[in-house]
Structure formats: C-alpha cells, structure tokens
Amino acid sequence: MSYPLPAKVCLTGQDCRCPSVTLFLVPEPLMPGGYILHLLEQATVDDPDAPPRPDIPLVESLETPTVPGRSEPPIHAELRPCTTHLPDPERLHAILHDHLIIDPFGLDIGDRAEVTRLALLPEHRIGFRRGEDFQAESVRQAMLAVYRHFDLDQRTPLVYHGFADPTTGWFELRTAVA
C-alpha cells in the first residue's frame, strides 16, 4: 500500500451520510506480520486544539444493542478520500508514538480533527473479533467488508477510541443476548 492510504474507511449508518466510526490499520509492533485495527469514533471536534466532546446521539446509537427480531438501521462500510493538508510533524510524531502506531494505513494524518480524536479519546483494547462476533447483522456485514478491504484475518485485535462503552451495543458478542 502507498503511504498514506488515500482513503478513509468509515462505518456509516442510521440514514446519516456522516461517518460514525473511521478505521485504520497499524502493523503490530510486537508481532512481526501482525496488524491491529483501530476504530475511531467521530466525536465532535469544534476546535482542533480543544478536547473532543461526545456526540450523544452517536454514542447512544453505538451503545444500543439490537433486539433479536426487530429491524435494525443499516450500517455499511464506505471509502472516503483523505484530505491533503500537511500535519504538524512534531505533534503527529508524539501522538503516534504514544499509541505505538507506525505506518498507519487509512488514518487521515492531515485532518487535525481526526488526529485530535486519536490523541484525546479514551482508548479501549477490545481484543480479537471476527465478523460473527458483532451483534447486529448490518455491523457484521460492514466489518466483514472492512476485513476484506484490508485483506485481514478476522482474528485481528481491535482498539477502539471513543466515548461509547465497548462492552455494550455493537461490540458485544451476539451470543451474549441469548
């Protein structure tokens, strides 16, 4: 892949054209040939020098588990072009170093709001997930498209950066509903 990857991978849904989560891939520093998939909530960033604030409807949509037998809003994967702004190299180096990120594929390093989200959102290590592990059918299909896009083994560990609770909603194992 070329660096930086000229497209963001986003999960969108609920009749909204704006992304809910963007995803980027990072080589695993402790496991040669391995990767980590980072999921970055699109929290509101009014000022790139101020901390992000929760987007309450977005967080609620991520935390709300789907009830079996009820219709769910469609969620799908989407590629979007990255911006071409030049990042602040010192700030970017510090942020990537803090998160053990080397050569991210799909992270829009020229987007100050995206870099601010990465720097300041809470980080949750989710562990290994397969497409089948996501509770909602539409999310399972979207994540399967993401794994195929990056040509990943579905057992790639995930790291989630965001305000939503990763133990509920779309991260929760679907078998936990039973």
Summarize the confidence of residues 94-105 as an average pLDDT: 82
% of the chain at pLDDT higher than 70: 83
57: in domain: yes
Question: Mean pLDDT across the chain, nearest whole number?
Answer: 79
Q: State the total domains in the chain.
A: 1
* pLDDT at residue number 38: 92
Residue 155's domain comprises 7-177
Structure tokens at 122: 């809470």
The sheet that has 123-128: what strands, in order across it? 75-81, 7-13, 16-27, 35-41, 157-161, 123-128
Q: Determine the Cα–Cα distance for residues 50 and 40; give it in Å rounded to an integer.
A: 17
Q: 90 pLDDT band (50/70/90 cuts)?
A: confident
Q: Directed axis angle between helix 112-120 and helix 89-98, to 10°?
A: 30
- The answer to whether the bond into 65 is cis (omega within 30° of 0) is no
Q: What is the pTM of this model?
A: 0.82
Q: 87 pLDDT band (50/70/90 cuts)?
A: low
